[in-house]
Amino acid sequence: MYSYEEAQCIMESLAARLCWWNVQGNVVVSMRSSPEFVFTLFALFMCGATPIPVNPGYTAHELGQVIGTSGASCVATVEDRCLCLRLVGADTVHRVDLYSLLANREECTCVTGRDPSSRAIMFFTSGSTGKMKAVVHTFQSLCANPGVLVETLGIKAEDIYLIGVPLFHLFGFCPGMLSAILQGAEIVMTDTIGSIGLAHALQSNHVSVLLCNGAMLAQLLSRLESRTYDLSALRLMLISGSIAPAHLLTRAINTVCKNTLNLYGATETGIMSLTRPGDGVHSLTATVGRPLPGINIRIVDDGHKSVASGVVGEIACNTFSLFRDYHGMPALRARVVDSNGWYYTGDMGKIDDGGCITIVGRKDEMIIKCGFNIFPREVELALLEHPMIRDAAVVGIPDSTYGEIVRAVVTTKDRDEITSDEIVDFCRERLISYKVPDQIVIASELPLTSTGKILKHELRRTNLS
């Protein structure tokens, strides 16, 4: 455990060492969620470099893609309690024992003020589509979102944060780590996403604020069915990274934390909207709440014209926390951000008369069968009503007769046995005929990104034989 004073000492001393090594430009940080990760990122900020946090589980091929796309000068890892900096294209490796920096503090003369509009950090995203792109945030866009969240959620210095999601993702870094740091709250980090480790960490640390994704929530609820934990200190449970099914949120609200909140955002924008403590059960379980103060959201048609309340369209956002650009891909930003600063998310949704937003799916995932539009989320929600289905994902498959057909991939609970015909019959009771899945795949698990999002491009390649 480190105090904020000790962390500051380590970060400044490390920054001095980085300046001595002349570390500049873009630096890939490949580490699990840990104090070393935090120390390294802030030291890079201090010495004027741009950190690129990535999943430490990346293969050599994936890491090579990141380095090639970003033009990174070196890669930072942790080995045997030491920070290791490997220069790209050279055999040079710099090492430093981070914990020795507390005992042997080095004077940091390289720290200078950073322009709020300058490049701060780069997040690689869109793993769910199979294509990587580097999202660049400034210090201004990076820090604005946590400040509003702190005020909206009433985060206090006395809070104990458990950041269950990876820090190399924006959700863990901004509404997680930065929000806690702004208030001087205690931070508990874990890279153990299994239900046993999460439940134990919540109880033993008397956690008051938990950040997790839908997959982790499902694991936690499953664990709590078989063993009792004291989670009475938990006052906020923040869910993001994937839209959690209503039945899971309902169970969480009733059995774990009454203030279980849905957060909606993107790597390009930070958190855009969230449900609030005190919202009704419908809003908490069926929507992603209302926009944060200072953020404007509207629903638009294909011509980017606003549609009426309750009509499905693309979600557009105008926010103070908008990203600066896609590194090396200026034309891509021009396609998703208009001249007035509206970012077109690619998410399809609707806004009710109370201002609450409901997500129905991705624009590029919409299935067109016989000329009818089918949003996968609607079919997935119907599937999840079945008591034997644990999780479900729906994709469109090209078909010579219908244009596309509907494929549903499901996992079952506790080795429950269910047939494809039973699932189809269940859907027929809840969906119009053209939305009923044409293909059913019963799988042991769904392929997920590190943030809990389903890799739908993998499901389109699922072997049905």
Alpha-carbon distance of 293 to 296, in angstroms, equals: 8
Fold: same for 4-113 and 366-459: no
| pLDDT confidence of residue 286 | 87
Q: Are 407 and 394 in contact (CB under 8 A)?
A: yes
| Of residues 39 and 243, more confidently modeled | 39
| pLDDT confidence of residue 40 | 95
AA identity, residue 70: S
Q: Which CATH number fits domain 4-113: 3.40.190.10, 3.40.50.10860, 2.60.120.260, 3.40.50.980?
A: 3.40.50.980
Alpha-carbon distance of 260 to 211, in angstroms, equals: 10
- pTM over 0.75, yes/no: yes
For 329, other C-beta atoms within 10 Å of its C-beta total 14
Q: Using the structure block, give the residue that is written with the tokens 């009771």.
A: 429
Buried b (16+ CB within 10 A) or exposed e, 216-246: bbbbbbebbeeeebebeebbbbbbbbbbbbb
| pLDDT confidence of residue 361 | 82
pLDDT tens figures, 322-341:
999 999 898 999 999 999 99
Q: Is the pLDDT of residue 106 over 80?
A: no
| pLDDT confidence of residue 109 | 61
Kindly report the CATH number that applies to the domain delimited by 366-459.
Answer: 3.30.300.30
Q: Is the pLDDT of residue 108 over 80?
A: no
The closest of 66, 57, 55 to 172, measured between CA atoms, is 55
The closest of 189, 4, 186, 18 to 98, measured between CA atoms, is 18
Domain ranges of the chain: 4-113, 137-362, 366-459
| Of residues 107 and 256, more confidently modeled | 256
pLDDT tens figures, 414-454:
767 899 999 999 999 988 888 999 999 999 888 887 666 78
* Assigned superfamily of 137-362: ANL, N-terminal domain (3.40.50.12780)
Alpha-carbon distance of 193 to 162, in angstroms, equals: 12
**Mean pLDDT, rounded, for 99-120:** 75
Q: The sheet that has 313-318: what strands, in order across it?
A: 296-300, 313-318, 343-351, 357-362
pLDDT tens figures, 273-321:
999 988 888 888 889 999 999 999 999 999 999 999 999 999 999 999 9
Please count the CA atoms within 13 angstroms of the CA of 387 that sit on its side-chain side. 0
pLDDT tens figures, 53-98:
998 988 887 888 899 999 999 999 999 888 999 999 888 899 999 8
Alpha-carbon distance of 360 to 348, in angstroms, equals: 6
Helix, strand counts (H, E) of the chain: 15, 24
